[in-house]
Chain A
Amino acid sequence: MLAAIIAAMVYAPTEQQMGDVQRIFYFHVSSALCAAMAYFLVFVGSVEYLRTRQDRWDRFAGVRAEVGVLFSAFVLFSGPLWARPIWGVFWRWEPRLATMLITLTIYVAYLMVRNYGDPGERTQRFAAVVGVVAFVSVPFVQYSIKLWSADQQLHPQKVELGPMMEQTKWLCYFAFACLFTLLLRLRLNQERQAARLQALSRSTT
């Protein structure tokens, strides 16, 4: 991770047109990829939970949704920082931005179902159902926003990177993948302990 930061900040050459702000790109894209991965895994976990009814699949999905929301929020936070100097404004109602925001709200709603429901099997089932619906709705969001959007696609379509930039990009992908796994494992461990603690306290009373 540290190496990725150093690479993004120092090693990668400064982009000619955009200057130093371009360096956000490395983290921005990496976390967007992590978020997409997380949402896909929420879907997998939800389907598996509905199939097998094992608590571990419920935890699997829930933890990934949390981390996915975290990374999406970072994407939406780092985006405007880059957009301000490049587009002149923090926010444009531009296809990818709007899609990301709506997807984020869907998964925040998913987390609310998990957290505000009474703990138990029913909430797990409901969450899994939402997890499936949420994932199916993402392509709809993406396509409809494209139809609706007045702004054309403003995201750079094809980025030409020098070899040093390429290396930095891949290093950042790798570092974020590690961070992603690390966060998941930490959170999953915690959830497991919590479940065990609950089982213990239930068995003593």
Chain B
Amino acid sequence: MNETRSMWSHTRLLLRKDLLAEWRSKERLSPMVFFVLLVLLVYNFAFELGGAALWEIGPGVLWSSFVFASLFGLQRTFAAESTNDCLDALLVAPIDRGSLYLAKMVGNVLFLLGVQLLTLPLFGLFFNLNPGLYLLPLFIVFFLGAASVASVGTLFSAMTEHSRLREFLLPLLVLPVLIPALISCVAATSVVLAGGIPGRSAVLWPPDLTIHVGMLALFAMVFTTLAWMLFDFVIEE
């Protein structure tokens, strides 16, 4: 009991440190948001967005830009710790390694969620999305999607931190494993966006949504647990 409590308090402490550092520097959030904006621009000129494209390719555009932006963010997960050998200090400190993973993972979820929420209005603007209450389930999808990306991504970014080919290796590892989650994210998003089709009566929770959201939740839970268990092996020196 005591152990669990100290694990949580360590996690909170580490998370607070990362968030504070990010708040002062904004060195992860702003480049990621700007990157999503650029990807949306590129897609706009590649596909001529707007009109019916919203329902056909909109969800795919949204999630591919999120995933690519998240790869940048994930690469920075342990960057702050490798300068001045902070990671060694953290490993020597009497804290459970699992809480280090959880702190980094939750941090990544929050960053990605921040990026998603900041760029959703831009996406809506480019695609002429009708704002409305039907968009609410999107936040659940965003949260679970971010959790799925962060679960696998945090583990692999700890691995690739020391690799010569860091920039290459991280996407190569993360992307194939993430495909199932990505499929559910895109499917769930398109179910939600379909609520905005003119003339369609908007429902708050379309029945089709449940299976995709359930799948995402399962993915996030399984891989968070697995990564949490394996994290010890990755950072032991």
Contact = CB atoms under 8 A, between A and B. Distances in A.
B169 A137 contact: no
Interface string A89-107: 0000000000000100110
B163 A116 contact: yes
A160 interface: no
A125 interface: yes
Given A116-B165, A144-B215, A147-B184, A129 B233 contact: yes
Interface of B: 152, 155-156, 159, 162-165, 169, 172-173, 175-177, 179-181, 183-184, 187, 211-212, 215, 219, 222-223, 226-227, 230, 233-234, 236
Contacts of A145: 180, 183
B163 A133 contact: no
Interface in A128-146: 128-130, 132-134, 136-137, 140-141, 143-145
Interface of B is mostly: helix
B233 A50 contact: yes
Interface in A25-58: 50
Given A116-B164, A122-B162, A143-B180, 7 more contacts: A102-B176, A109-B173, A117-B163, A125-B234, A126-B159, A129-B234, A144-B215
Interface of A: 50, 102, 105-106, 109, 112-113, 116-118, 122, 125-126, 128-130, 132-134, 136-137, 140-141, 143-145, 147-148
A117 B180 CA distance: 27
Among A140, A143, A147, the one with the most B-chain Cβ atoms within 10 Å of its Cβ is A140
Nearest to B162: A122
Contacts of A105: 175-176
Contact of A147 (B156, B163, B165, B187): B187
Question: What are the 3 tightest A-B residue pairs by CB atom distance, in nearest-first order?
Answer: A144-B180, A140-B180, A105-B176
Contact of B226 (A125, A128, A132, A141): A132
A116 B169 contact: yes
Contact of B179 (A112, A132, A133, A144): A144
10 contacts: A106-B176, A109-B173, A109-B176, A112-B172, A113-B173, A116-B163, A125-B234, A129-B155, A129-B234, A130-B156
Contact of B222 (A118, A132, A136, A148): A136
B233 A137 contact: no
A162 B176 CA distance: 40
A144 B172 CA distance: 20
